[in-house]
């Protein structure tokens, strides 16, 4: 993480290097927050980094590129949804972190208008509206002749993602606007009107959703904001409808100035049109702003939905227009974030928790304490380095908070006893006893007993039976979760030795379903070696690496007995991947499970033909369209095992295009370039020589 301390080396070259690094970091965080809906740092940490970048750009004094995070809003659009351009830019808000910054915000506005509003006792003082800041997802709703036509996410502030079908499932958003709650005449509503607001998930809906996730063996959502964003960006609107989303309107874009002259009247008009709006307050001074901030901070725990601060806006629209905006935010509004509540408690002991991917994490078990309306008794310490940096040990007095108001974390220890020996990482996995390892340059400590570690079993089973792995159809997440939960399967080898007839009394497991499942398991015993290697879940070994290993060594036994020097000689396998492969097969627990798989009749099919023998060996091949007899991804995988080089696009370097049904532009491009074209019949002949 970047240091908050100033760097004494302020040469232009150093400043540029730090600026470039921060821009890359912030863009990655924007993508995680706005596109993936899975942020990995708190809002406060993001804002700190953004401010640091702003200060460095100012210090450098050079023109700031338009794509810098200080000049942009949101993140680039994903390819999942159709892009929709907003009629007016949907800007973000600048943040205030303390009373001084709020007072400076009010003072700048007074300075802008001189003596016109300088006397607070005047009959017409400057008025500010206070709105609770919802922790959700910004949406732009476009109405034409009073009818909802497009709903789009913020996106990059100019263009968002079309989520209209999903938005129509939210009860707080009207499909048709009306002048008020009783009159259906919408003549005073502009022909085009953009309504802005926040989609959010209530605390009750969030608890219900995570209860369903838990019952279905799925991962819970981290917080209501992530849950709301993920729910709104579903491809199936029926899933969105089941998530219980809500909406508060707070602003307008195109057409908005025709229905009100100030923010308080606008919210009243939007309510009359059928929108839900929040309770707001009008005040005249920064002292009143801060007073209401403190009141809302005290009330937030009892509110039915999450707020993470308050928003202050200059109420009058004409004055807003005169204040204007900077690149990414208006000058007439600011968000005042709540500080995370911090409390003191005692650590009883440090335990080591094994995650689903084998990462060993220290966790502090503490005297239960109330933090932000929630009782906390455990908090992650992330890794051994973080544990030592924060000086946490059994018996320590520590400060605890909920990061992002969600995840409990230990901030620091208080009055550290220097005589205490800090905890050391274990030598063996606390769940399975396998040895632990730590890759150079990484802070994470990992369990090497992947196949036999019970803490990782559910995740390994899901990966093992996946389509890219052993492709066992019918072995879904719910069934895996229950088999593991009831200790009916203790490692992946049990899949081939379990009596599936005993499942007949389980709900949804009829005789036909069980028969199909057993047939799928039987078929999986002879998958290609590359598929088997991928299914083992070796760290850093994806389909391409698994295919390269299978092609080079031919048999599983050769791979298990090889050395790192030989592995590094294989194209695309470097020292880190080689170390991971050697570590995996060196672990006795893993070798024992593999032997059990072999004893149960799992015999990965070895490659019989040398690569140079096949007519497609070394040739660049493009598959396009759909195929009746084989999945396209599976066909690409088999082509790799035969020495071909499947690629995604047609160019002058392409050797052959294999076209299935409904082939499109790739086939046209192949004809234009005079590239050889083959059909599915020829493909099957090549795949089964």
Per DSSP, the three-state class of 351 is: strand
Nearest Cα neighbor of 32 from 96, 89, 75, 88 is 75
Q: How far apart are CA 500 and CA 474, in angstroms?
A: 12
133 given a catalytic annotation: yes
The single residue listed with the structure tokens 């409390």 is 343
With a CB cutoff of 8 Å and minimum separation 6, the contacts of 436 are: 360, 425, 426, 427, 428, 429, 445, 446, 447, 448
- Per the CB < 8 A criterion, the answer to whether 568 and 575 are in contact is yes
- H, E, C per residue of 195-242: EEEEEEECHHHHHHHHHHHHHCCCCCCCCHHHHHHHHHCCCCHHHHHC
The single residue listed with the structure tokens 């391409």 is 544
Q: How far is CA 151 from CA 275, 482, 530, in A?
A: 15, 40, 45
Phi, psi dihedral angles at 660 (to 5 degrees): -100, -160
Residue 176 has what DSSP assignment?
Answer: B
Phi, psi dihedral angles at 317 (to 5 degrees): -65, -40
Which residues does residue 316 pair with via DSSP β-bridges, in sequence order?
262
- Per the CB < 8 A criterion, the answer to whether 549 and 560 are in contact is no
Cα 33 to its chain centre, rounded Å, is: 7
Tally of CB atoms within 10 A around 355? 14
Which residues does residue 131 pair with via DSSP β-bridges, in sequence order?
311
Q: How many CA atoms lie within 13 A of 98 on its CB side?
A: 1
Active-site choice (133, 390, 638, 666): 133
CA dihedral 295, 99, 201, 219 (to 10 degrees): -120
Task: Say how many Å lie between the first and final Cα of the chain, rounded.
Answer: 54
Per DSSP, the three-state class of 103 is: helix
Q: How far apart are CA 230 and CA 153, in angstroms?
A: 12
What amino acid positions are annotated as catalytic residues?
133
């Amino acid at each position: 993480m970047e240091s908050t301390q100033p760097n004494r080396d302020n040469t232009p070259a150093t400043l540029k290097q730090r600026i470039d690094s921060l821009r890359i970091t912030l863009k990655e965080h924007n993508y995680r927050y706005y596109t993936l809906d899975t942020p990995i740092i708190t809002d406060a940490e993001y804002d700190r980094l953004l401010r640091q970048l702003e200060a460095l750009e100012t210090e450098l004094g050079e023109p700031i590129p338009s794509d810098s995070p200080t000049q942009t809003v949101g993140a680039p659009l994903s390819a999942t949804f159709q892009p929709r351009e907003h009629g007016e830019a949907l800007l973000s808000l600048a943040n205030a972190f303390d009373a001084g910054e709020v007072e400076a915000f009010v003072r700048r506005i007074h300075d802008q208008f001189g003596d016109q509003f300088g006397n607070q006792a005047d009959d017409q003082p400057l008025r500010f509206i206070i709105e609770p800041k919802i922790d959700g997802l910004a949406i732009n709703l476009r109405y034409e002749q009073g009818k909802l036509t497009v709903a789009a996410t913020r996106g990059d502030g100019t263009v968002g993602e079309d989520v209209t079908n999903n938005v129509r499932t939210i009860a707080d958003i009207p499909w048709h606007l009306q002048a008020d709650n009783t009159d259906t005449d919408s003549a005073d509503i502009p022909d085009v009107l953009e309504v802005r607001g926040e989609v959010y998930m209530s605390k009750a809906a969030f608890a219900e959703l995570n209860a369903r996730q838990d019952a279905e063996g799925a991962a819970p959502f981290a917080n209501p904001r992530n849950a709301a964003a993920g729910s709104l960006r579903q491809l199936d609107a029926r899933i969105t409808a089941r998530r219980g989303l809500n909406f508060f309107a707070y602003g307008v874009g195109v057409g908005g100035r025709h229905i009100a002259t100030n923010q308080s009247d606008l919210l009243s008009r939007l309510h009359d049109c059928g929108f839900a709006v929040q309770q707001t307050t009008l005040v005249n001074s920064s002292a009143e702003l801060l007073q209401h901030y403190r009141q809302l901070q005290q009330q937030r725990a009892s509110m039915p939905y999450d707020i993470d601060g308050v928003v202050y806006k200059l109420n009058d629209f004409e004055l807003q227009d005169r204040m204007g905006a900077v690149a990414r935010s208006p000058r007439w509004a600011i968000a005042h974030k709540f500080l995370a509540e911090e409390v003191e408690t005692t650590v009883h002991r440090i335990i080591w928790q094994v995650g689903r991917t084998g990462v060993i994490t220290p966790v502090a078990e503490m005297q239960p304490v109330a933090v932000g309306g929630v009782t906390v008794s455990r908090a992650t310490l992330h890794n051994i380095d973080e544990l030592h940096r924060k000086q946490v040990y059994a018996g320590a007095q520590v400060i605890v908070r909920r990061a992002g108001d969600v995840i409990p974390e230990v901030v620091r220890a208080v009055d550290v006893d220097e005589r205490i020996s800090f905890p050391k990482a274990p030598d063996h996995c606390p769940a399975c006893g396998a040895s632990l390892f730590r890759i150079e340059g990484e802070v994470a400590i990992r369990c090497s007993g992947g196949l036999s570690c019970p803490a990782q079993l559910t995740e390994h089973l899901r990966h093992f039976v996946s389509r890219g792995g052993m492709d066992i159809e019918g072995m879904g997440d719910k069934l895996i979760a229950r088999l593991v939960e009831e200790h009916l399967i203790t490692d992946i080898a049990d899949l081939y030795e379990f009596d599936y007839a005993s499942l007949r009394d389980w709900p949804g497991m009829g005789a036909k379903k069980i028969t199909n499942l057993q047939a799928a398991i039987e078929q999986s015993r002879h998958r290609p070696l590359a598929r088997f290697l991928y299914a083992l879940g070796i760290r850093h070994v994806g389909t391409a690496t698994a295919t390269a290993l299978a092609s080079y060594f031919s048999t599983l036994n050769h791979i298990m007995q090889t050395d790192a020097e030989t592995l590094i000689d294989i194209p695309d396998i470097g020292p880190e991947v080689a170390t991971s492969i050697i570590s995996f097969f060196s672990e006795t627990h893993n070798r024992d499970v593999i032997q059990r798989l072999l004893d149960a009749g799992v015999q990965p099919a070895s490659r019989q033909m040398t690569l140079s023998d096949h007519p497609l060996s070394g040739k660049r091949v493009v598959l396009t369209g759909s195929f009746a007899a084989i999945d396209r991804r599976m066909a690409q995988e088999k082509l790799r095992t035969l020495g071909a080089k499947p690629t995604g696009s047609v160019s002058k370097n392409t050797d052959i295009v294999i076209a299935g049904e409904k082939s499109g532009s790739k086939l046209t491009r192949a004809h234009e370039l005079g590239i050889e074209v083959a059909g599915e019949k020829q493909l099957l002949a090549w795949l089964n020589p």
